[in-house]
C-alpha cells in the first residue's frame, strides 16, 4: 500500500469512527474524537502564530524584510508581558494581575462594538427601506437585462432603476414581515388593540415559517456533508484507490 492509499485509509477510518456515534457511544468514536481534538489544538496554536501574532505583533515589533522593508517599533514588546499576565489566572497569589489584560481587552472591545454594530446592522437597516409603489407599469416583471444585447448599458441601468409591480409586491411582503416580526417583540406594553394583536400574531407565524426554512436548510446542509463523506469513502477511497477503477 503506497502512502496515498495509506493516508486515505486513515481518513476513512476517522470518518467511520466519528459517524459511529450515531449508533451509540463507543471507544472507537472516542479514540477518533480525541485525535481530532488533538489535531485541532495543534493547528490552532500554529494558526495563532502564523495568522495573528506574527503579522499583527512580531513583524511590527522587529520589522519586516519582505517585498517592502518596514522598520520595527520596540513599544510593541510591551504587549508581551501584558499578554502573559492573562495566564496568572491559574495562580492563587497573583491571579489579580490577570484582570489587567482582561480589562484592556474589554475596554478596547467595548469601544469597537459601536463601529462594529453599525458596520454590521447599518446596511441591513438601509436595505430594509424598500419602495412599495411601482414606478413603471409597462410590464408586470422587469425584463432581463444582464447579458442581453438588446439593451445598452445606459438602457439597462434605467430599467434596473425602475420598480415594476412584481418587485413592488415582493418589497411590500418584505416590509410587512419586518414590521410584523418587530411588533411581536414589543414586550414593553400590552397589545390591547385588535390590530396590534393581529400584527403580533402574524409576526409569530412568519417567524415560525422563517425558522422552519432555516431548519430545513440546516438539515440539507447536514445531508450535503454526509453525501460528500460517502463519496469520499465509496468513490475516492474504495473504487479509485483500493479497487483501482478510477
Q: For the segment 37-55, what is each residue's pLDDT rounded down to a tens digit?
A: 999 999 999 999 999 898 8
In terms of domains, do 57 and 27 share one?
yes
Residue by residue, DSSP assigns 58-69 as: IHHHH-EESSSE
Q: What is the pLDDT of residue 207?
A: 94
Is 172 among the domain residues? no
Is 21 among the domain residues? yes
Q: CA-based Rg of the chain, rounded to a whole angstrom?
A: 29
Is 120 among the domain residues? yes
- Closest C-alpha among 173, 169, 148 to residue 159: 148
C-alpha span between 102 and 107 (Å, rounded): 8
pTM of the model: 0.61
Is 107 among the domain residues? yes
Is 23 among the domain residues? yes
Number of domains in the chain: 2
In terms of domains, do 60 and 98 share one?
no
* Domain interval for residue 1: 1-72
Q: What is the pLDDT of residue 101?
A: 92
pLDDT digits (tens, 9 = 90+) for 95-129: 999 999 999 999 989 989 988 999 999 999 999 99
Is 245 among the domain residues? no
Amino acid at each position: 500500500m503506497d502512502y496515498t492509499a495509506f493516508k486515505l485509509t486513515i481518513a476513512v477510518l476517522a470518518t467511520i469512527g466519528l459517524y459511529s456515534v450515531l449508533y451509540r457511544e463507543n471507544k472507537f468514536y472516542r479514540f477518533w474524537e480525541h485525535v481530532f481534538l488533538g489535531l485541532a489544538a495543534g493547528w490552532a496554536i500554529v494558526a495563532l502564530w502564523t495568522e495573528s501574532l506574527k503579522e499583527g505583533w512580531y513583524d511590527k515589533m522587529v520589522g519586516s524584510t519582505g517585498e517592502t522593508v518596514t522598520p520595527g517599533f520596540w513599544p510593541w514588546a510591551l504587549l508581551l508581558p501584558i499578554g502573559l499576565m492573562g495566564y496568572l489566572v491559574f495562580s492563587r497569589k497573583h491571579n489579580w494581575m490577570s484582570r489587567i489584560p482582561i480589562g484592556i481587552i474589554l475596554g478596547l472591545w467595548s469601544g469597537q462594538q459601536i463601529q462594529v454594530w453599525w458596520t454590521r446592522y447599518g446596511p441591513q437597516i438601509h436595505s430594509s427601506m424598500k419602495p412599495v409603489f411601482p414606478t413603471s407599469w409597462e410590464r408586470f416583471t422587469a425584463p432581463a437585462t444582464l447579458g442581453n444585447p438588446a439593451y445598452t448599458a445606459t438602457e439597462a441601468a434605467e430599467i434596473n432603476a425602475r420598480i415594476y409591480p412584481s418587485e413592488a409586491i415582493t418589497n411590500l411582503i418584505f416590509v410587512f414581515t419586518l414590521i410584523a416580526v418587530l411588533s411581536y417583540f414589543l414586550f414593553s406594553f400590552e397589545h390591547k388593540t385588535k390590530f396590534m394583536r393581529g400584527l403580533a400574531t402574524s409576526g409569530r407565524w412568519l417567524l415560525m415559517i422563517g425558522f422552519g426554512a432555516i431548519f430545513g436548510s440546516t438539515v440539507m446542509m447536514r445531508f450535503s456533508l454526509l453525501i460528500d463523506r460517502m463519496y469520499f469513502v465509496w468513490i475516492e477511497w474504495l473504487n479509485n484507490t483500493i479497487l483501482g477503477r478510477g
